Each structure stands twice: as C-alpha cells, then as structure tokens.
Amino acid sequence: MIITSTKEELLSKINIVSKAVASKTTRPILECILITADSDGVRLTANNLELSIETSNIEAQIIEKGSAAPEAKMFLEIIRNLPENNVSIETDDKNNITIKSGKSEFKIFSLPGEDFPELPLVEKNFKYEISSAMFKNMIKQTIFAVAIDETRPILTGELLEIKEDCFNIVAIDGFRVAFRTEKIENKNESINVVVPSKTLSEISRVLPDKEDEIVSIYFTDNHALFETNQFTMVSRLLEGEFFKYENSFINEHTTAIEVNRQELLSSIERATLIVKDMRKSPVELKIKENFLVITSNTDIGMSYEEVAVDFEGDDLEIGFNPKYLIDALKVIDDERITINFMSALSPCIINGIENGNYKYLILPLRLKN
C-alpha cells in the first residue's frame, strides 16, 4: 500500500475511529486501526467487538492499493506530531509502515490488514432519521441513570424504543428512571432494543453537535447501525427483556412544586458539600407553603438552604440521595420544572415545563428521625 493524504484529514478521522479501539485486550489487532486502500477509496476502521467505526472515504490519493493495521495510539501520536501537512504512508512486505512528512520519517511495525476482524453485517431494511445534536442530547439526558453494577446486565444499557411516532430513550438503575422522547417519522414499525451504555457514550462523543446534521439509524436483531456522511458505527445489542417502565410514571400526586431548575440545582450542590457518602447521607427536602428548605447534617457539619417555590397540596418532608437529583437537574433543558410527590416513601417525578419531552423518577431515602 502507498497512499498520500494530509495530516489534518488523517487526524480528524483517526480521532473518530479511536473511540472504537480496544484499550485492554488479549488480541493486539483490536488495538490497531485498519487502513484500507482499495478501488472504493481509503478508509479507516476500528473494532473492539462491541462497537465498530468505519469512516467514509477520506481525502487521499492511492498510489498502490493494500491495507495495514498500525497500533492506534502510536499511529495517532505520530500523525499528530508531523512537521508538515503532506503525509505519505507506505507499507513493505514485512508489514512495516513508513510515514513521511517534510524531513521526518517514521518506520513502525504494523499487523497485516487481513487479520483485522470483519465488521458485523447489518442489513439496511428500515431507516430512521434524527438530528445528530438532538440524539446526542437525548443520550446525555438519560445515560447517567444506567445501572453501574452488573447484577442485571440488561440495565447497563439504554432502551431505544420506537412506538408510533415517538422515539424514546430510557435508562433505569433500580433507584431512578430517566426518560426522554422525541417525535420521529415512522411507518408503523415498532422497535425495542437495548444498546450498551458504553458504546452509546462513545457514539455520542463522535456525533457532530449540529442540529442540521442527520444520523440515520438501522436495527437488526443483534445490532444497531448509526450512519452520518462522515462515518458508520455498529453497536452490539444487549440480550434480554428491559424493565417495563411505563407504569412507573403515574400522574397522581398529593404535593406538587414548581421551581427554577438552576436555583434548585445550586442549592442541592451546596448542601452536598458536607456530604461524603451520598448513599448514606440523604439531603432533606422540607416543603411548606411557598418555601422549599434543603438541609443536610453529617459528621462534617450542617447546611441550610431556602428556595422559593410555587406550591400546591400537603406539606412534606422527604429525603433523597442528592446525586440522583443533581444528575437530572444538570441535564434538563427547561428553565422551570415541576416535581410531584405522593408521600415521604414514594418516588417523586420531575418534569420539564416548557419542552414536555423529559420525565425523571427517583426513589426517596428514608430519613433518620
């Protein structure tokens, strides 16, 4: 293989596929980036067997077709540090790869391109389209609520659900449910798959932050494929039945408040300054008339916060793991939110007011007194 390209082009594309390079593995080939130069053009590919990313053709000239798989980190570092924008990449018959730019020359060992694992084949039957920036935001607004521990593996992923004209993303860890919905064009198909949160998080990191850039999504029984005009990503799906979340979001309540999201967030963040273990030390919310009083009390000291709220229903004292409140309050787009309560031992439900596309449920912690 002999190709020429530019440092800029290579760098931007290596940065994308790098998200699918394996970091700890017993198969060295998974730590490599595959460079392919064939009659279709030049492409970069990475594949950690959970997630694979392949760029569309990059700007490059092919002098001799072929392939090679240099170690990803070393390849990235060399390209990043080249002295000039013009780069040539050349392999020899011993799988050495020579990279030249200006008066710099590197020769590093690589693995044969043929050893690189083939990408999963995904038949593109039905296409769903969504704005890239929107999809990124949907992931950000829910992904923190996936389960960390692996006792129920299905909950370490996020549910991607298409029902009628709604595209929903849902995460559940046993203590809370994060739900985000968006309208989508659909021809009566129904989709219900669980994508590992790790690959979703990598996907959201490489998706462009542009409203008008479109991601096309395809599903099979075992894979989800995400396509932009820059690259294609294929994620493995998790097997199993996701939690039936719909019935968790009941509409009844005995206490309801409406509050400025940022004010509530800042107050709870301050209250946690003196909390070392958030699972063991709840912050306490006292709702009475038009005030929400937030207190915490630990070995380190005490804190007291007052936030103005619009209030209806009964007075209430309830405790929460503050992290669960903070996680959601940080990502909701709305300026004002409502929180509905049933009792000190029942979950509360947070809704954004303006957009109406986000719901979040948290179980309370029992207060000590």
Under the rule (CB under 8 A), what is the footprint of a copy of itself? 74, 77-78, 81-83, 96, 103-109, 266-267, 269-270, 273-274, 300-307
Beta bridge partners of 17: none
Helix 7-17 × helix 72-81 angle, to 10°: 150
Give the pair of three-digit tokens for residue 232.
Answer: 């294609």
- Smallest gap from Cβ 308 to a copy of itself, in A, equals 9
Q: Pick the closer one to a copy of itself by CB: 107 or 124.
A: 107
Three-class DSSP category at 349 = strand
Q: Pick the closer one to a copy of itself by CB: 147 or 294.
A: 294
- Smallest gap from Cβ 90 to a copy of itself, in A, equals 13
Beta bridge partners of 5: 60, 87
- Smallest gap from Cβ 307 to a copy of itself, in A, equals 8
- Smallest gap from Cβ 335 to a copy of itself, in A, equals 18
Q: Pick the closer one to a copy of itself by CB: 96 or 343.
A: 96
Q: Pick the closer one to a copy of itself by CB: 75 or 144.
A: 75
- Smallest gap from Cβ 200 to a copy of itself, in A, equals 31
- Smallest gap from Cβ 103 to a copy of itself, in A, equals 4
Position of tokens 């949160």?
A: 197
Phi then psi for 272, rounded to 5 degrees?
Answer: -85, -5
Q: Pick the closer one to a copy of itself by CB: 107 or 288.
A: 107
What string of DSSP letters covers 326-344? HHHHHH---SEEEEEES-T
Measure the CA–CA gap between 99 and 97, rounded to whole angstroms: 7
Beta bridge partners of 350: 339, 360
Q: Pick the closer one to a copy of itself by CB: 102 or 174.
A: 102
CA distances from 362 to 166, 179, 313, 340, 347 (A): 23, 12, 20, 11, 5
